[in-house]
């Protein structure tokens, strides 16, 4: 029996990986993004009872803020996303994760709207997270970073809006964990959200989703290079563990149909199976590639903390167990979007939110889009998603009477 798997995770040469590692750390400490530092005297209170101080938020903007600051579209990123939504990524050199959605003439039209995409706190691209320096010790926080929640992320974003002097967003918009932030924004800051587009998300993280996250976290923590979370101090990185976590998670972002269409049982660069544990199948090779490229741009502890934040997410629980209570009295215009083949955040979970919003007679639209691409559909070319976002945003701008930077109106 040929056992080749030991090499598999080391396909990226060591020297190169160190360079990538250094580049990633540099982005964390000094991102190619705008950044706001909130001083020690302005701490961010956290749901856990502790506080984060000082803290920073790195963010990207696209388009121009209009005179009365009424054209802000706040874009919230997903678990493994970052603020680079519509520009070339400084580490990967690839287009932003929502390049199809944001730009001149695109559904979130930067000729009309001022788009703001912040890196979540707990992240690793410039906002304060577990790889940031703990002022108490002068070393990276690592496992001493406080556990954060989605509401903490949103609270931090509200501080960013305060800093920018923007009272109310025309729209808060995002998919997956970004959608969770949108719902949290609408529940916590009712008056600051004129309209909201939660995409492919739910009002709470399901048991199954918590289970998948736990598998990922255990994979990271089982890697000896995790060093009890202090790998940065040790000059190490739990690349294998994080890659496995990413591989497991990546499966949940796709659908059986997508995997079958893309790979079937096709073999990777070979005529027949090798009777070993090499990547015989294309799907294995694909997942290994996904795992390895991910570790070049993401911090393992950030992955632990952010998955935890999603697990703790349960808006109804924060409002007496009744989801509708979270939205009582809301004036926000909502547009929920789900995808038929998304089994991570199935349509039913969006529909629960819709029913809660109906119960408070909120202004709500709900679009379920026929797609075989699974959860990832929200990041991909989905014309119906684009049409819904464009139409909904246009209506929101019309109802708010937004004057675009060029002086035009809807």
Partner 1 sequence: MKAHSVRPTDTTRVDLLLIAEMVTPGSRVLDIGCGDGTLLRILAEKHGVDGRGIELSQAGVNSCVAQGLAVIQGDADDDLAYYPDLAFDYAILSQTIQATYSPRLVLEQLLRIGKRAVVSFPNFGHWRVRTQLMFGGHMPRTDNLPERWYDTPNIHLCTIKDFLNLCDDVGAKVERAIALNAYGTKLVAMPLFAQNLFGEQAVFLLSR
Distance CA(97)–CA(105), nearest Å, equals 17
Minimum CB–partner distance for residue 386 and partner 1 (Å) = 9
Q: Which residue of 390, 400, 403, 405 would you call a contact of partner 1, by CB under 8 A?
A: 390
Q: Is residue 329 a contact residue for partner 1 (CB under 8 A)?
A: no
- Supply angle C-alpha 326, 331, 332, rounded to 5: 80
Pick between residue 299 and residue 342 the one whose CB is nearest to partner 1. Answer: 342
Helix %, strand %, coil % for the chain, to 5? 40, 15, 45
Q: Is residue 387 a contact residue for partner 1 (CB under 8 A)?
A: yes
Q: How do beta strands 44-45 and 51-52 pair?
A: antiparallel
Burial class (CB in 10 A: 0-12, 13-18, 19+), 266: exposed
Minimum CB–partner distance for residue 368 and partner 1 (Å) = 6
Q: Is residue 378 a contact residue for partner 1 (CB under 8 A)?
A: no
Distance CA(254)–CA(371), nearest Å, equals 11
Q: Is residue 204 a contact residue for partner 1 (CB under 8 A)?
A: no
Q: Is residue 325 a contact residue for partner 1 (CB under 8 A)?
A: no
- Supply angle C-alpha 217, 223, 224, rounded to 5: 135
Q: Which residue of 69, 359, 400, 403 would you call a contact of partner 1, by CB under 8 A?
A: 359
Question: Which residue, 114, 110, 113, 60, is CA-closest to 83?
Answer: 60
State the catalytic residue, choosing from 127, 131, 132, 176.
176
Q: Is residue 408 a contact residue for partner 1 (CB under 8 A)?
A: no
- 375 catalytic residue (yes or no): yes
Q: Is residue 388 a contact residue for partner 1 (CB under 8 A)?
A: yes
State the catalytic residue, choosing from 84, 89, 213, 375.
375
- 152 catalytic residue (yes or no): no
Burial class (CB in 10 A: 0-12, 13-18, 19+), 121: buried
Q: Is residue 117 a contact residue for partner 1 (CB under 8 A)?
A: no
Q: Is residue 319 a contact residue for partner 1 (CB under 8 A)?
A: no
- 342 catalytic residue (yes or no): yes
Pick between residue 141 and residue 366 the one whose CB is nearest to partner 1. Answer: 366
Q: Is residue 365 a contact residue for partner 1 (CB under 8 A)?
A: yes
- Tell me the DSSP string of 144-178: GSPP--HHHHHHHHHHHHHHHT---BSEEEEETHH
- Dihedral sign of CA atoms 125, 129, 134, 139 in order: negative
Count of residues of this chain found to bind partner 1 when the rule CB under 8 A is applied: 26
DSSP 8-class letter at 191: G
Instruction: Give the residue numbers annotated as catalytic, written as ranges.
Output: 176, 342, 375
Question: Which residues make up the interface to partner 1 (CB under 8 A)?
Answer: 333, 335, 354-355, 358-361, 363-370, 384, 387-388, 390-392, 394-396, 398
């Amino acid at each position: 029996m040929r056992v080749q798997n030991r090499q598999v995770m080391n396909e990226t040469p060591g020297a190169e990986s160190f360079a990538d590692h250094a580049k990633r750390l540099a982005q964390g400490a000094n991102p190619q993004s705008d950044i706001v530092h909130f001083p020690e005297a302005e701490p961010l209170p956290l749901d856990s009872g502790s506080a984060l101080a000082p803290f920073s938020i790195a963010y990207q903007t696209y388009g121009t803020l209009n005179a009365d600051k009424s054209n802000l579209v706040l874009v919230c990123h997903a678990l493994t996303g970052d603020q680079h939504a519509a520009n070339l990524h400084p580490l990967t050199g690839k287009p932003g994760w929502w390049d199809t959605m944001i730009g001149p003439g695109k559904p979130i039209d930067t000729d009309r709207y001022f788009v703001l995409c912040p890196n979540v706190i707990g992240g690793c691209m410039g906002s304060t997270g577990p790889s940031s320096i703990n002022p108490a010790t002068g070393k990276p926080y690592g496992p001493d970073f406080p556990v954060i929640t989605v509401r903490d992320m949103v609270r931090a974003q509200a501080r960013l809006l305060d800093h920018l002097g923007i009272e109310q967003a025309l729209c808060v918009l995002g998919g997956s964990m970004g959608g969770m932030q949108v719902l949290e924004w609408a529940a916590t800051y009712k008056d600051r959200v004129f309209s909201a587009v939660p995409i492919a998300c739910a009002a709470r993280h399901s048991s199954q989703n918590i289970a998948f996250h736990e598998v990922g976290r255990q994979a990271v923590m089982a890697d000896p290079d995790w060093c009890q979370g202090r790998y940065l101090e040790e000059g190490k990185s739990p690349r294998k563990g994080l890659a496995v976590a990413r591989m497991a998670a990546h499966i949940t972002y796709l659908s059986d149909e997508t995997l079958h269409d893309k790979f079937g049982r096709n073999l990777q660069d070979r005529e027949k199976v090798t009777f070993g544990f090499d990547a015989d199948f294309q799907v294995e090779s694909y997942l290994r590639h996904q795992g390895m490229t991910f570790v070049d741009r993401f911090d393992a502890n950030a992955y632990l903390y952010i998955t935890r934040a999603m697990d703790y997410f349960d808006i109804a629980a924060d409002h007496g167990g009744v989801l509708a209570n979270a939205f009582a009295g809301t004036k926000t215009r909502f547009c929920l979007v789900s995808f038929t083949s998304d089994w991570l955040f199935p349509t039913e979970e969006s529909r629960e939110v819709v029913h809660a919003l109906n119960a408070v007679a909120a202004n709500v639209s709900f679009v379920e889009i026929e797609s075989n691409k699974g959860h990832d559909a929200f990041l991909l070319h989905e014309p119906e998603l684009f049409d819904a976002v464009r139409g909904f945003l246009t209506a929101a701008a019309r109802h708010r009477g937004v004057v675009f930077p060029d002086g035009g109106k809807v």
